A and B are shown apart, each in its own frame.
Chain A
């Protein structure tokens, strides 16, 4: 999915050569997306089918990845879990990108108090290490997947805004922007129609890397019990639910979803770095 959209933006010459790890990572991500979309067709069991006689079973032909404490099939749960684990970071990124790119562009274009406000907000946000700002929002507004998505989205927005601002500042001084201005085009129209689209290459690469990070943050929140709640199926939550079994010697319930999270984040990082290298080259 990612490689296709990213590749479409590249000149043909560059598109021809892709290193092997990037191909593998991209292929893996495509597989994960397919698995998430077709989970009902692929999953051998219903993800919430309890079978206490098969509690904490190891790998077997019946349960390829074993079962958890209530005998739920782990393969089916990981397939279904891919849905919320991929959709939630997507929603979070959409929110963060919308806010961040708007703030960054406005700050770069108009400067003045908007710019000052952005840098003050960023300073305060950066005073909270890691996920602590998100944790504060959750402490006040209560836990749940929606709160987590909005909170992480708000936390990422200033970072995206700062990056957009630096890109937009150098883009603004290019002659073609002056040309539009001379033609009498308004600032808002130049930004929306020309400036931001011209930044999209660099921004896309950045957002792909942030996607992996966002997935990791949301999984961590779910693991801590602040994100997706109990009946829903989410990788981070699955790790938390499977954790007690680890001490009893049943490793699969926690390791299967944990591996899924790590593998997807690794793949996103590899693809993201490659995409930003390629798309950043023209700058």
Chain B
């Protein structure tokens, strides 16, 4: 079962190296002097300041050497200094990471419970329930998260006053209360995907011969669903949940901005607007690493849930 593992990890490292190189060398793709871009401000550049930036980023060295240095320093937690905040980038990110992770975790609870639940329901109750779930997920998948955010704030925040509109909250219950609307806005698209995957996987598992055999053996419908249909459908469902959760890292950029939360996603947006390139690079690197590592982990876990799938080859 572990036969494909070294190859997977080599692939992971290769992808990370390539992606980090793209992030690092993007500065050189820009028209003009990279020192100007890296200095943040586009005006008032004295030759002294440019020279200082050049020295700080070792811009006179070959690209590969610079990249190697950046990668080495990043790996040790030294992500450089922000031009905007005059702060260590690592500290900036560390201060904001908990909010982002809480948001993603809360949204994951939402989409797993509601997505898998509605998918199972749609697969079991054909007819109008199925149509309602399919229609609802089509709608949910088509609403951009920032529109969902505004609609949720309008309805539950302003009109009904159930949830706070701004701020991050105090204590666990307070934070949960404040993060409910953002988490739901973030989860909406994912919920639709998971619901569809669950419905599809359940329907396929239902159609297989062993379910017919179990029914002929006299098992109750409930036992068949839980032990044979859901169990067999679990592989694709868990895989998809993992992939969607990893993709949510990027979704936080929009949702945190819409709700004015101070997380890593909104940090990226403000870094780009203020031309704070070290912060932009660091946040992008962090999100890409998170995404690639989680998707690889999901791949590795898949054979544990569904022994028919092996790491070395494709699905049996």
Chain A interfacial positions (CB closer than 8 Å to B):
120, 123-124, 127-132, 135-141, 143, 212, 216, 219-220, 223-226, 236, 239, 243, 246-247, 249, 251, 254-255, 258-259, 261-262, 265-266, 268-270
Q: If the complex has contacts A220-B254, A224-B257, A247-B165, are A135 and B284 also in contact, measured as CB distance less than 8 A?
A: yes
Chain B contacts for A129, CB-based, 8 A: 246-247, 249-250, 287-288, 291
Residues of B30-69 at the interface with A, using a CB-CB cut-off of 8 Å, are 30-31, 37
Chain A contacts for B37, CB-based, 8 A: 140
- A258–B15 touching, CB < 8 Å: no
- B273–A136 touching, CB < 8 Å: no
Q: Given B29, B138, B165, B287, which contacts A140 in the complex, CB threshold below 8 Å? A: B29
Q: Is chain A's interface secondary structure helix, strand, loop, or mixed overall?
A: helix
Chain A contacts for B269, CB-based, 8 A: 224-225
Chain B interfacial positions (CB closer than 8 Å to A):
15-16, 18-19, 22-23, 26-27, 29-31, 37, 138-139, 141-147, 150-151, 153-154, 158-159, 165-166, 246-247, 249-251, 253-254, 257-258, 268-269, 271-273, 277, 280, 284, 287-288, 291-292
Q: If the complex has contacts A129-B246, A220-B254, A247-B158, are A262 and B147 also in contact, measured as CB distance less than 8 A?
A: yes
Q: Given B147, B249, B277, B284, which contacts A261 in the complex, CB threshold below 8 Å? A: B147
The 5 closest A-B pairs by CB, nearest first: A130-B250, A258-B147, A129-B250, A127-B19, A266-B142
Chain A contacts for B26, CB-based, 8 A: 136-137, 139-140
- A255–B146 touching, CB < 8 Å: no
Q: If the complex has contacts A127-B288, A132-B284, A135-B253, are A265 and B144 also in contact, measured as CB distance less than 8 A?
A: yes
Chain A contacts for B249, CB-based, 8 A: 129-130
Q: Given A224, A247, A249, which contacts B253 in the complex, CB threshold below 8 Å? A: A224
**B272: nearest chain-A partner, CB-CB:** A139
- B15–A127 touching, CB < 8 Å: yes
- B150–A243 touching, CB < 8 Å: yes
Chain B contacts for A236, CB-based, 8 A: 146
Q: Is chain B's interface secondary structure helix, strand, loop, or mixed overall?
A: helix
- A140–B18 touching, CB < 8 Å: no
25 A-B contacts (beta carbon < 8 Å): A124-B19, A127-B16, A127-B288, A127-B291, A128-B291, A129-B246, A131-B250, A132-B253, A135-B272, A139-B271, A139-B272, A140-B29, A141-B30, A216-B144, A223-B146, A225-B273, A243-B150, A247-B166, A249-B158, A255-B150, A258-B146, A261-B144, A265-B142, A266-B138, A269-B142
- A136–B144 touching, CB < 8 Å: no
Once bound together, how far apart are the Cα atoms of A223 and B145, in whole Å?
11
Once bound together, how far apart are the Cα atoms of A266 and B148, in whole Å?
13
- A139–B150 touching, CB < 8 Å: no
**A251: nearest chain-B partner, CB-CB:** B154
Least Cβ–Cβ distance between B36 and chain A, in angstroms = 12
Once bound together, how far apart are the Cα atoms of A212 and B154, in whole Å?
25
Once bound together, how far apart are the Cα atoms of A261 and B18, in whole Å?
35
Once bound together, how far apart are the Cα atoms of A129 and B271, in whole Å?
18
Least Cβ–Cβ distance between A262 and chain B, in angstroms = 5
Chain B contacts for A224, CB-based, 8 A: 253-254, 257, 269
Chain B contacts for A223, CB-based, 8 A: 144, 146, 254, 258
Least Cβ–Cβ distance between B138 and chain A, in angstroms = 6
Chain B contacts for A136, CB-based, 8 A: 22-23, 26, 280, 284
Once bound together, how far apart are the Cα atoms of A223 and B258, in whole Å?
9
Q: Given B139, B154, B272, which contacts A226 in the complex, CB threshold below 8 Å? A: B272
Chain B contacts for A140, CB-based, 8 A: 26-27, 29-30, 37
**B268: nearest chain-A partner, CB-CB:** A135
Once bound together, how far apart are the Cα atoms of A239 and B287, in whole Å?
26
Q: If the complex has contacts A141-B30, A243-B150, are A251 and B158 also in contact, measured as CB distance less than 8 A?
A: yes
Least Cβ–Cβ distance between A138 and chain B, in angstroms = 7
Chain A contacts for B145, CB-based, 8 A: 220
